[in-house]
């Protein structure tokens, strides 16, 4: 008997998954993860040819509401020079009752949207209530999705943008005009971008620190999206050591997060320096921000459960609207 499944393209996914409102879905998902309602191993990955290219497999099962699936993702940092996306992703969903394939969908937009939505949850839960200045370092897909998601959660008086590639940051700012108010200001350098900023988003592919500890003021929230491998770093280790560190997954952070793995290896701190998972903060089991002047780092590696939850939402909405193409395997 043939297995019938729905094929959803990038265009299909975008039609049914606006970034607005996705933060609430991710908040519930993170709470489920930290409460043990999710079965998910640490991401399995292999390098493909060189240290800047890897292929990852990210499966997850959610008990309530039930969902089963996996994301297959490749990150090739050298693609920018070829005019290609650095990230490609495909998400497959299965019927959690029978194991039959339910859907195959492009996962690039889901990756960008769910990552930004999780960061929006971090802003909601961990930033100071009087935060007024947002800095975004990076100019790619994640920078754009974060501008939309974070500014959808909190009103900022000033948005700053910086990237080491002037033409790309100029394009990012031009694109952001239609989704972000106020229009981002291009900073002279990374220090100019983050000094005095209340919320800082690091959406870079850098293997070495792009910000220094003494640039970061009291009370700042730093959201780190890059350095997803042990040999990479986005932040000065002195900053990681002085800040309250909150992660999406403890298990993943001590294996994958370069800023944390290297900090532990070099003796700056121990695993106990990880104060909480964001899901534990959402559940009220552990505190998030304890004082106005406290610097907080939220290290976001990206969880399979986030992809599966977002993909399940896409699948349900697409079915309701008759979007997608049925295929037989």
What pLDDT tens digit does each residue of the chain (329 aa) get? 668 899 999 999 999 999 988 999 999 999 999 999 999 998 898 988 766 788 999 999 999 889 999 999 998 878 877 888 888 999 999 999 999 999 999 999 999 999 999 999 999 999 999 999 999 999 988 999 999 999 999 999 999 999 998 999 999 999 888 888 888 999 999 999 999 999 999 998 888 999 999 999 999 999 999 877 888 899 999 999 999 999 999 999 999 999 999 999 999 999 999 999 999 999 999 999 999 999 999 999 999 999 999 999 999 999 999 999 999 98
Domain holding 217: CATH number? 3.40.50.720
Count, residues in the chain = 329
Q: Which residues sit opposite 60 in a β-bridge?
A: 69
Q: Are residues 159 and 239 in the same domain?
A: yes
Q: Please tell me the distance from the alpha carbon of residue 295 to that of residue 118, in angstroms, as a whole number.
A: 19
**The pLDDT value given to residue 110:** 97
- Phi, psi angles (nearest 5°) of residue 65: -70, 145
Q: Do 290 and 277 sit in the same domain of this protein? A: yes
Q: Which CATH number characterizes residue 22's domain?
A: 3.30.1780.10
**Same domain membership, residue 224 and residue 201:** yes
Quote the domain boundaries for residue 154.
118-301
Pairing assessment for the beta strands 87-94 and 67-76 based on DSSP bridges: antiparallel
The set of residues, in sequence order, having a beta carbon less than 8 Å from that of 198 and lying 6+ positions away, is 127, 128, 130, 131, 132, 133, 134, 219, 220, 221
CB-based contact 99:175 (threshold 8 Å): no
Sign of the CA dihedral with 303 first, then 101, 64, and 106 last: positive
**Would you state the pLDDT for residue 1?**
61
Which pTM value belongs to this model? 0.94
User: Is residue 8 located within the same domain as residue 94?
Assistant: yes
Q: Are 224 and 299 in contact (CB under 8 A)?
A: yes
Give CA 264 to chain center in angstroms: 23
- Is there a single domain that holds both residue 30 and residue 138? no
Based on the fold, state whether residues 41 and 82 are members of the same structural domain. yes
Q: Is the dihedral of CA 40, 46, 48, 53 positive or negative?
A: positive
Query: Is the same domain home to 106 and 182?
Result: no
Q: What does the radius of gyration of the chain's CA atoms come to, in whole angstroms? A: 19
Domain count, the chain: 2
The reply to whether 178 and 286 lie within a common domain is yes
Structure tokens at 9: 């393209």
93 in the Ramachandran plot: left (φ > 0), alpha (ψ -120 to 50) or beta?
beta
Provide the token pair at 32: 């489920």
- Same domain (yes/no): 227, 88: no
Same-domain status, 199 and 314: no
Q: Where are the beta strands (DSSP E) in 155-295?
A: 158-162, 185-186, 199-202, 221-224, 244-247, 274-277
Residues 262 and 131 in one domain: yes
- Coil, strand or helix at 131: coil
Buried b (16+ CB within 10 A) or exposed e, 293-320: ebbbbbbbbbbbbbbbbbbbbbbeebee
pLDDT of 137: 97
Q: Please tell me the predicted confidence (pLDDT) of residue 177.
A: 86
Query: What CA–CA distance (Å, rounded) separates 246 from 257?
Result: 12
Site of tokens 């079915």: 319
Same domain assignment for residues 44 and 189: no
């Amino acid at each position: 008997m043939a297995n019938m499944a729905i094929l959803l393209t990038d265009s299909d996914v975008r039609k049914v998954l606006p970034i607005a409102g996705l933060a609430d879905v991710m908040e519930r998902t993170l709470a489920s993860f930290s409460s043990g309602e999710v079965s998910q191993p640490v991401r399995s990955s292999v390098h493909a040819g060189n240290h800047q290219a890897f292929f990852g497999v990210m499966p997850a099962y959610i008990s309530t509401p039930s969902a089963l699936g996996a994301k297959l993702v490749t990150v090739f940092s050298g693609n920018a020079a070829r005019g290609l996306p650095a990230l490609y992703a495909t998400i497959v969903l299965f019927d959690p009752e029978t194991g039959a394939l339910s859907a195959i969908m492009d996962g690039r937009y889901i990756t960008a949207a769910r990552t930004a939505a999780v960061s929006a949850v971090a802003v909601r839960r961990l930033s100071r209530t009087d935060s007024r200045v947002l800095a975004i370092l990076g100019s790619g897909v994640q920078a754009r999705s974060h501008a939309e998601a974070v500014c959808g959660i909190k009103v900022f008086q000033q948005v700053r943008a910086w990237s080491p590639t002037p033409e790309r940051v100029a394009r990012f700012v031009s694109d952001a005009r239609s989704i972000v108010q106020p229009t981002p200001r291009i900073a002279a350098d990374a220090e100019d971008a983050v000094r005095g900023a209340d919320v800082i988003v690091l959406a870079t592919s850098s293997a070495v620190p792009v910000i220094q500890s003494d640039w970061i003021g009291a009370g700042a929230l730093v959201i780190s999206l890059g350095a997803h491998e042990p040999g990479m770093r986005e932040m000065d280790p002195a900053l990681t050591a002085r800040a309250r560190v909150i992660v999406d997954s403890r298990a993943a952070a001590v294996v994958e997060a370069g800023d944390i793995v290297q900090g532990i290896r070099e003796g700056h701190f121990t695993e106990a320096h990880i104060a909480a998972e964001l899901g534990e903060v959402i559940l009220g089991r552990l505190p998030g921000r304890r004082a106005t002047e406290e610097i907080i780092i939220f290290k976001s590696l990206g969880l399979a459960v986030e992809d599966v939850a977002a993909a399940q939402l896409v699948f349900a909405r697409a079915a309701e609207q008759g979007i997608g193409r049925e295929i037989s395997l």
